[in-house]
């Protein structure tokens, strides 16, 4: 008998028919003797509908009131799922984040979980009930309803699994696991049976949208085994775990991630004085703009060119800030480019294999793809390229690192 926390996203509970299917799935586990806690999102489209209503009142709704409103989406789902379970003879009870007492800070719309009171859940589980908990929400020390930001139900699921010391946290979604790359771009991508938290964290931060990055961080911190599964197809999914398998067959690279939402800014002819990087990036940080990759080149005339990337949504704001900085420090010009993309190779196997970066650069050179920026860490290499070459780059790297699925007979 195991204690399992199962999380179902918006598409998995998007209609009454699907909620009934989820109830059937939960019942199977319960009939198998497992203790089950289920975390659910709002029905697909519901959170957007609620935000749309709020924006009809005010273009910038007060965050506290917005949280009160959008948290109702999950409240509907937990009640419906509990009803569907009870109809099947499965004792079940639903709770909002406030009722469980998922304590968060007071950062409305993007709160962080501080503590979970698991006593009520344990009492229900001991009594043989399935506990259905609203994802994405909590309560602060003043009793205000808070929400955890987009994708926050994943974090709720992992946090509950950590608090309850669950045997596994299962994230049910519309894909059947984590793939070596996006199958829509790389038809030969393969589902991974297992991946480490480190690798998944890199994949999530580099554009893989399977899991919310905070949930992976949480799972890694508390060593909660995570499994990504398809909501309506049977299969083993992908297990995300702390273990690095010491195996002769451990691949060097686990996956190829990419991100189209990048923009590049360059400030040219900057006087090369101490503290220049802070003078450039300080105002960017103050404008709440996150910087990703950074490259600095020193010219022969004692000036420097300073290039960095930001999310494409922040590009215009970053450009305005940088133009002001250029005037203040006497730089020559500011230029930008939104037609770029980032491609990354990820794998813990890199630690024990030399020449991974050069193999990556060789594969791109063979396709005539120019590299504009490079960033490395212990388990990843990222490059910035022209966006028009993105799919070619991803497919060629997938092949170069022998990640392609073997051809089926007759192909």
* 196 labeled part of a ligand binding site: no
Please check if 411 is assigned to a binding site: no
Per the annotation, does 55 bind a ligand? Answer: no
Q: Is 384 helix (H, G, I), strand (E, B) or coil?
A: strand
Structure tokens given for 410: 């007759």
Structure tokens at 120: 């009520």
* Cβ neighbours for 86, distance < 8 A, ≥ 6 positions apart: 92
Nearest residue to 118 via CA among 181, 165, 184 = 165
Q: Is 74 annotated as a binding residue?
A: yes
174 appears as a binding residue in the annotation = yes
Residue 80 contacts residue 116 (beta carbons within 8 Å): no
Residue 186, SS3 per DSSP = coil
Q: Is 38 annotated as a binding residue?
A: no
C-alpha span between 243 and 196 (Å, rounded): 6
Beta bridge partners of 191: 179
CA 235 to chain CA mean position, Å = 22
Is 173 among the annotated ligand-binding positions?
A: yes
Q: State the sign of the Cα–Cα–Cα–Cα dihedral 5, 7, 12, 17.
A: positive
Q: State how far the Cα of 56 lies from the Cα of 52, in Å rounded to an integer.
A: 6
Residue 184 among known ligand-binding residues: yes
- The answer to whether 285 and 294 have CB atoms below 8 angstroms apart is no
Determine whether the annotation assigns residue 9 to a binding site: yes
410: left (phi over 0), alpha (psi -120 to 50) or beta: left
Report the relative pairing of strands 92-95 and 130-134 from DSSP bridges.
Answer: parallel
Question: Going by C-beta distance under 8 Å and a sequence separation of 6 or more, which residues neighbour residue 314?
Answer: 263, 289, 290
For residue 137, what are its two tokens?
């929400």
14 marked ligand binding residue: no
SS3 of 310, please?
strand
Binding-site residues for ATP: 7-10, 173-174, 179, 184, 209-210
Q: Which residue numbers belong to the known binding site for substrate?
A: 47, 74
Residues annotated within a binding site = 7-10, 47, 74, 173-174, 179, 184, 209-210
């Amino acid at each position: 008998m195991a204690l399992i926390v199962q999380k179902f996203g918006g598409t998995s509970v998007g209609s009454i028919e699907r909620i009934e299917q989820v109830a059937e799935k939960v019942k199977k586990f319960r009939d198998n003797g497992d203790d089950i806690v289920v975390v659910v999102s709002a029905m697909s489209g519901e959170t957007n509908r609620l935000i749309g209503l709020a924006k009809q009142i005010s273009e910038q709704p007060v965050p506290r009131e917005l949280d009160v409103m959008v948290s109702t989406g999950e409240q509907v789902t937990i009640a419906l799922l509990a009803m569907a379970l009870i109809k099947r003879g499965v004792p079940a009870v639903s709770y909002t984040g406030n009722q469980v007492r998922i304590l968060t800070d007071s950062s409305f719309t993007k709160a962080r979980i501080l503590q979970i009171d698991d006593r009520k859940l344990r009492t229900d589980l001991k009594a043989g009930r399935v506990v259905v908990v609203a994802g994405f929400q909590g309560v602060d020390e003043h009793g205000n309803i808070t929400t955890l930001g987009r994708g926050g139900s994943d974090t709720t699921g992992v946090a509950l699994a950590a608090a309850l010391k669950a045997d596994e946290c299962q994230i049910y979604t519309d894909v059947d696991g984590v793939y070596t790359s996006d199958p829509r771009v790389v038809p030969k991508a393969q589902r991974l049976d297992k991946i480490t938290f480190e690798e998944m964290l890199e994949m999530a931060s580099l554009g893989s949208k399977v899991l919310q990055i905070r949930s992976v961080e949480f799972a890694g911190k508390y060593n909660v085994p995570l499994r990504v599964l398809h909501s309506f197809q049977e299969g083993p999914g992908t297990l995300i775990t702390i273990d690095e398998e010491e195996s002769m067959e451990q691949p060097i690279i686990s996956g190829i991630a990419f991100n189209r939402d990048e923009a590049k800014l360059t400030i040219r002819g900057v006087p090369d004085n101490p503290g220049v990087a802070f003078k450039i990036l300080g105002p960017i940080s103050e404008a709440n703009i996150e910087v990703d990759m950074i490259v600095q080149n020193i010219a022969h005339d004692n000036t420097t060119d300073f290039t960095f990337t930001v999310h494409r949504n922040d590009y215009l704001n970053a450009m305005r800030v940088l133009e002001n900085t250029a005037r203040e420090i006497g730089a020559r010009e500011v230029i930008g480019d939104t037609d770029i993309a980032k491609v990354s190779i990820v794998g813990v196997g890199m630690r024990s294999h030399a020449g991974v970066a050069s193999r990556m650069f060789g594969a791109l050179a063979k396709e005539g793809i120019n590299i504009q920026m490079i960033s490395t860490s212990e388990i990843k290499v990222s490059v910035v390229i022209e966006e028009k070459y993105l799919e070619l780059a991803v497919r060629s790297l997938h092949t170069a690192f022998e990640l392609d699925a073997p051809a089926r007979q007759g192909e």
